[in-house]
C-alpha cells in the first residue's frame, strides 16, 4: 500500500468536538453544529486526512421560536453540543445534549451515509456524553464536567434503563484546574475502560490538554494521566478534546481539535502508540505537523464549495447550512433556474437575527467568497448581500430606501444586536457583484469588503473587520448569503452564483 501523508490541521475550518469511528476501511466523523441547520454533519474518509460531507443527523432539532430565530435571541451558542458517534451490530448511534432545551438526544440509523435517523429524546442534560457499548451489550453514557457520571441506557440506547446504573462515577482534578475534565470519549480495550477528556489548567502551561482515565472495572477505581500537552507552536492553544481510532493496519491515532481564533476549532490527527496499556500521544509528546500513515492516498473533496444554484429540485448541496431553522416557504433554487431566491419574511433589526441566511464555513489560511445578486425584487427597507457571520459580523450588500433609491453598503455589528452602516454609496444598477476576502494567517483574522458593477473593476468599501471568536456564537466565522426586511415582508433577491476560493499555502 502507498502511504498517505497526514498534514495538520487536516481541516483548517470550524469542525469542533470531533468524534470518529472506523467501520471496515471507512472512517466516519460527527461534529458540533449548534445553531446551523441541518445539524450534526457526518463526514467520511479513507485516510483520516481527506474528509467528505455525506449526511446530517437531523434537518432541524426543535420547532419553536428560538430555533426559528424569531424570539430576538435564537440559540446562538446552544443547540447541539459535543456529539458522540458509535457503531454497534449494524446500527450507527449519535448522542448529544442541547443546552437550551435541557434535553439529551439519541439518534440511530442503519445507513450513516444516506439514511434517515430515528430520534429518541431523554430528559435532562448529559453534558458532553461519551457512549459505550460494552462487551455484554449493556449500554452506558459517561458525561459531566469535573463530576463525571455514568448512566445506563436500554439495549437499543433509546431510553434510560429503568433500575440501571445511574450515579456519580468519580470527580476529576480540581487543584490548579480552571476548566475541569469534560468532552468524554469512552472505550473498552484490552480489558480496560478508557475515558478521554479535555481539561484546562490555570497553572503551568495554562492551556487545554488531553487526559485519560482508565480502570479494569466499569465503576472504578480509575487512575489517570496527562497524555498530551502541546500547542504546535500556535499561541499556547492546546490540541485536545477527542478520541482514538485504529486503522485496518493496526495503527492508532487520536483525532482532536485546536482553537484557531476566528476561523474556529480545527481538527488535527495525532499518532498514538501503547505502552503498558496506556496510550502515548504524539512524537516525543508533540503533535507533528506532518507524518506518514499506512492508509490509502485519496484526492481531497472540498468542504466549502462554489455553487451555480443549478438544481433540479429544491434541495441544496450538503455543504450549505442555514443559520437556525429556515422558513422553507421563503427560499428556492427552482423558482428561477440557476439562481438562489431569498424572500424576506418577518422584519429583523440586523442580519444576525434575520432568518434564511444561508452559510458555509470559512477556511484558513486565506479564502475569498464572491456572489452576484439581482436586486430588482427588493422592497423599501430590504437589506441583501454577503456577510462575514459571527457575533461581531460585517456585511457588504445593498440597502433599499423608502424612495426606491439603492445603496451599496458595508455594515458592522453595533454591539447591541443592531447593525451600523460604516459606509454606503449610491448604486444605480440592477445587478451587483459582492466579495469578501478573509485572512486567518497567524491569527490576522480580518475580512475586507468589496463590490463591483461588472465583476471586473472592484471597489473596496467600508473598513477591514477584525474578526473575533466569542462565546456568543461559539462558532468560527461563516460566510452567508442573506436577504431580510426591516419594514415589510415579500421582497426578494436572486443570487446567480456563489464563488469560493482559498489560498492553501501555510
* Domain hosting residue 123, numbered range: 4-293
In this prediction, residue 416 carries a pLDDT of 79
Residue 19 and residue 81 in one domain = yes
Q: What is the CATH number of the domain that holds 454?
A: 2.60.120.200
Residue 289 and residue 336 in one domain = no
Residue 356 and residue 406 in one domain = yes
Q: In Å, how far from its chain's centre is CA 116?
A: 20
| CA-CA-CA-CA dihedral for 86, 198, 295, 279, to nearest 10 | -100
Residue 371 and residue 289 in one domain = no
Residue 55 and residue 155 in one domain = yes
Residue 288 and residue 433 in one domain = no
DSSP secondary structure code for residue 155 in this structure: T
Residue 185 and residue 281 in one domain = yes
Residue 315 lies inside a defined structural domain of this protein:
no
All 3 cell numbers of residue 149? 457520571
Residue 301 lies inside a defined structural domain of this protein:
no
Collapsed DSSP state (helix, strand, coil) of residue 127: coil
Residue 377 and residue 254 in one domain = no
Q: Residue 242: which residues within 8 A CB-CB, separation 6 or more?
A: 17, 18, 19, 20, 183, 185, 196, 210, 254, 255, 256, 257, 267
Q: Which residues pair with 426 in a beta bridge?
A: 407
Residue 199 and residue 138 in one domain = yes
Residue 299 lies inside a defined structural domain of this protein:
no
Residue 107 lies inside a defined structural domain of this protein:
yes
Positions of the chain with pLDDT lower than 70, given as ranges: 1, 504-506
Taking alpha carbons only, the member of 367, 370, 128, 387 closest to residue 263 is 367
Residue 309 lies inside a defined structural domain of this protein:
no
Residue 381 lies inside a defined structural domain of this protein:
yes
Listing DSSP states for 28-53 in one string gives EEE---BTEESEEEEEEESSSSS-EE
In this prediction, residue 505 carries a pLDDT of 41
Q: What angle do CA 75, 78, 82 make, to 5 degrees?
A: 150
Query: Do 12 and 49 form a contact (C-beta atoms < 8 A)?
Result: no
Residue 298 lies inside a defined structural domain of this protein:
no
Report helix, strand and coil shares of the chain as percent, to nearest 5: 0, 50, 50
Q: In what order do the strands lie in the sheet with 103-109?
A: 80-88, 91-98, 103-109, 118-123
In this prediction, residue 503 carries a pLDDT of 77
- pTM score > 0.95 for this model? yes
Query: Do 323 and 67 form a contact (C-beta atoms < 8 A)?
Result: no
Query: Do 258 and 239 form a contact (C-beta atoms < 8 A)?
Result: yes
- Counting the structural domains of the chain, the total is 2
Q: What angle do CA 351, 99, 185 make, to 5 degrees?
A: 115
Residue 208 and residue 279 in one domain = yes
Residue 272 and residue 327 in one domain = no
Q: Residue 275: which residues within 8 A CB-CB, separation 6 or more?
A: none
Residue 310 lies inside a defined structural domain of this protein:
no
In this prediction, residue 1 carries a pLDDT of 55
Per-residue model confidence as pLDDT tens digits over 69-93: 999 999 999 999 999 999 999 999 9
Q: What is the CATH number of the domain that holds 47?
A: 2.115.10.20
Domain boundary among 293, 309, 340: 293
In this prediction, residue 506 carries a pLDDT of 31
Residue 325 and residue 211 in one domain = no
C-beta neighbour count of 124 within 10 angstroms: 10
Amino acid at each position: 500500500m502507498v502511504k498517505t501523508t497526514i498534514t495538520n490541521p487536516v481541516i483548517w475550518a470550524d469542525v469542533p468536538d470531533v468524534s470518529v469511528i472506523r467501520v471496515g476501511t471507512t472512517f466516519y466523523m460527527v461534529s458540533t453544529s449548534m445553531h446551523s441547520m441541518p445539524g450534526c454533519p457526518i463526514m467520511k474518509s479513507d485516510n483520516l486526512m481527506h474528509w467528505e460531507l455525506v449526511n446530517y443527523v437531523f434537518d432541524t432539532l426543535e420547532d419553536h421560536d428560538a430555533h426559528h430565530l424569531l424570539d430576538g435571541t435564537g440559540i446562538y451558542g446552544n443547540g447541539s453540543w459535543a456529539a458522540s458517534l458509535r457503531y454497534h451490530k449494524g446500527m450507527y448511534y449519535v448522542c448529544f445534549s442541547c443546552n437550551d432545551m435541557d434535553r439529551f438526544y439519541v439518534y440511530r440509523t442503519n445507513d450513516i451515509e444516506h439514511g434517515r435517523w430515528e430520534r429518541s429524546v431523554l430528559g435532562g442534560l448529559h453534558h458532553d456524553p461519551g457512549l459505550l457499548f460494552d462487551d455484554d451489550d449493556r449500554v452506558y453514557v459517561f458525561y459531566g464536567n469535573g463530576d463525571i457520571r455514568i448512566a445506563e441506557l436500554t439495549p437499543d440506547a433509546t431510553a434510560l434503563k429503568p433500575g440501571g446504573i445511574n450515579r456519580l462515577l468519580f470527580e476529576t482534578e480540581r487543584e490548579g484546574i480552571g476548566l475541569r475534565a469534560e468532552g468524554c470519549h469512552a472505550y473498552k480495550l484490552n480489558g480496560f475502560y478508557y475515558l478521554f477528556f479535555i481539561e484546562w489548567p490555570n497553572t503551568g502551561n495554562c492551556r487545554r490538554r488531553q487526559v485519560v482515565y482508565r480502570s479494569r472495572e466499569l465503576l472504578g477505581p480509575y487512575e489517570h494521566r496527562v497524555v498530551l500537552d502541546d500547542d504546535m507552536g500556535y499561541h499556547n492553544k492546546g490540541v485536545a478534546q477527542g478520541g482514538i481510532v485504529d486503522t485496518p493496519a493496526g495503527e492508532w491515532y487520536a483525532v482532536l481539535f485546536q482553537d484557531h481564533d476566528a476561523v474556529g476549532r480545527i481538527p488535527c490527527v495525532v499518532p498514538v502508540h501503547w505502552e503498558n496499556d496506556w496510550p502515548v500521544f504524539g512524537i516525543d509528546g508533540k503533535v507533528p505537523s506532518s507524518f506518514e500513515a499506512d492508509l490509502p492516498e485519496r484526492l481531497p473533496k472540498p468542504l466549502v464549495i462554489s455553487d451555480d444554484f443549478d438544481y433540479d429540485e429544491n434541495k441544496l448541496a450538503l455543504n450549505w447550512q442555514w443559520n437556525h431553522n429556515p422558513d422553507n416557504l421563503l427560499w428556492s433554487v427552482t423558482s428561477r433556474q440557476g439562481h438562489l431566491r431569498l424572500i424576506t419574511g418577518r422584519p429583523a433589526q440586523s442580519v444576525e437575527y434575520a432568518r434564511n441566511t444561508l452559510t458555509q464555513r470559512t477556511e484558513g489560511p486565506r479564502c475569498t467568497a464572491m456572489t452576484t445578486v439581482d436586486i430588482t425584487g427588493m422592497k423599501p427597507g430590504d437589506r441583501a448581500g454577503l456577510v462575514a457571520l459571527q457575533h461581531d459580523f460585517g456585511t457588504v450588500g445593498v440597502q433599499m430606501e423608502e424612495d426606491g433609491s439603492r445603496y451599496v453598503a458595508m455594515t458592522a455589528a453595533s454591539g447591541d444586536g443592531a447593525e451600523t452602516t460604516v459606509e454606503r454609496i449610491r448604486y444605480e444598477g440592477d445587478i451587483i457583484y459582492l466579495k469578501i476576502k478573509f485572512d486567518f494567517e497567524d491569527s490576522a483574522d480580518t475580512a475586507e469588503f468589496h463590490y463591483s458593477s461588472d465583476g471586473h473593476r472592484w471597489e473596496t468599501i467600508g473598513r477591514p473587520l477584525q474578526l473575533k471568536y466569542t462565546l456568543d456564537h461559539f462558532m468560527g466565522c461563516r460566510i452567508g448569503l442573506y436577504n431580510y426586511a426591516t419594514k415589510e415582508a415579500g421582497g426578494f433577491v436572486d443570487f446567480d452564483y456563489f464563488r469560493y476560493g482559498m489560498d492553501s499555502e501555510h
